[in-house]
Amino acid sequence: MTHTIGVVRGDGTGPEVVAEALKVLEAVGVDAERVEFDLGADRYLRTGETITDAELERMREMDAVLLGAVGDPRIRPGILERDLLLRMRFELDQYVNLRPVVRYPGVATLVPSHAEADVDLIVVRENSEGLYSGAGGFHRKGTAHEVAVQESINTRHGVERIVRYAFDLARSRPRKKLTLVHKTNVLTYAGDLYQRVVDEVGSVDYPDVERDYVHVDAACIYFLDQPSRFDVIVTDNMFGDIITDLGAMIQGGMGIAAGGNINPIGVSMFEPIGGSAPDHAGKGTINPLATIGALALLLRQLGETEAADRVTNGIRSATSKMVSMRAAEMGFSTSEVGDLVVEGATS
């Protein structure tokens, strides 16, 4: 079966890291047809468009999408983020932002007290509502009496579907533990909804999954002090954004942290979580492992389990050869890292 994979190379280092992931895709021999989408800063500067309705329609026909990065210092912050990246996530209803936090062999992190086995968790971030919904506005803008309101929208439907996804995931893992991360002591409406849904859905449909709750500020402490406390985490959009940057750091840095924007019944989009890293662009110094990890998630979502395993093995084999790797100082060029993965994935 041929998979149709949309490719958004995007901005900054996006094209370089996507090229390495596509090299790996080719090497593992999955039958794929690629459809390129010319999106990002250059396109915007050329035409004034971020993405058109027709392009979104075309994207809906893909089996999955691989995204490099969006974001460019030439463009005012917010335009590419809201009107391109978030628009794709929202319009394709990719309501799950799945971000595994795993240690690959030999990868050094900033927390020497962590053993490799301590860090093996997965964050299920709500990806379609919360503070990201764009609700709010200004009143008396630019005056001394200005009011800026930014509302967090949390619907029963939205919360329940993300919680159910997280429970299903927890049930499929050996530890079967789900932790809600929120701020129920202050966000007494949104947090209450999340807590009630976790308790109701958990007790009725997932009695075999252990439930835990941790405030988001305390979760930051545990990420450093006791990451083994976590198996699957479910959290809202904003908290998920923040804790997954910390998660990336305890797995070795932005250079290896991968994620998926998932619509379980539609088209999903996979990306390195680190962004376009403009200061690395064009130098061949960016670490492609995050994007290659995103490819592994993509293949798994397509049901290409064996190919996904081979890519993961390729990453593991590469990191074990890259002694003391940290994203910024890996000692290998971008394409050499891609070659190491290909070698490990095909041997």
Q: Measured between alpha carbons, how far is residue 4 from residues 14, 88, 177, 236 in Å?
A: 20, 17, 35, 31
CB of 254 to Mg ion, least distance (A): 10
CB of 244 to ligand IPM, least distance (A): 6
The one of Mg ion, ligand IPM, none whose footprint includes residue 85, by CB under 5 to 8 A per kind, is ligand IPM
Instruction: Select which of 42, 192, 217, 279 is catalytic.
Output: 217
CB of 248 to Mg ion, least distance (A): 9
- Chain residue at closest Cβ approach to Mg ion: 241
CA 165 to centroid of chain Cα atoms: 15
Nearer to ligand IPM, 81 or 199 (CB): 81
Instruction: Select which of 11, 63, 236, 241 is catalytic.
Output: 241
3-state secondary structure 203-232: HHHCCCCEEEEEEHHHHHHHHHHCHHHCCE
Chain residues binding ligand IPM by CB under 6 A are: 81, 85-86, 241, 273
Tell me if residue 183 is catalytic.
yes
Chain residues binding Mg ion by CB under 5 A are: 241
CB of 305 to ligand IPM, least distance (A): 26
Contacts of 152 (CB under 8 A, 6+ apart): 130, 131, 133, 187, 190, 236, 238
Tokens encoding 309:
């395993």
Tell me if residue 339 is catalytic.
no
- Kindly provide the residue ranges of all beta strands, DSSP E only, lying in 62-132, ordered along the sequence: 64-69, 96-102, 120-126
CB of 35 to Mg ion, least distance (A): 26
- Chain residue at closest Cβ approach to ligand IPM: 81
Which residues lie across from 271 on neighbouring strands? Answer: 259
Instruction: Select which of 44, 63, 104, 183 is catalytic.
Output: 183
Among 41, 127, 39, 42, smallest CA distance to 86 is for: 127
Instruction: Select which of 104, 132, 165, 194 is catalytic.
Output: 132
Residue 152 DSSP one-character state = P
Nearer to ligand IPM, 86 or 299 (CB): 86
Report the distance separating Cα 46 and Cα 39, nearest Å.
11
Nearer to Mg ion, 126 or 241 (CB): 241
Tell me if residue 231 is catalytic.
no
Tell me if residue 132 is catalytic.
yes
Active site (catalytic) residues: 132, 183, 217, 241, 245
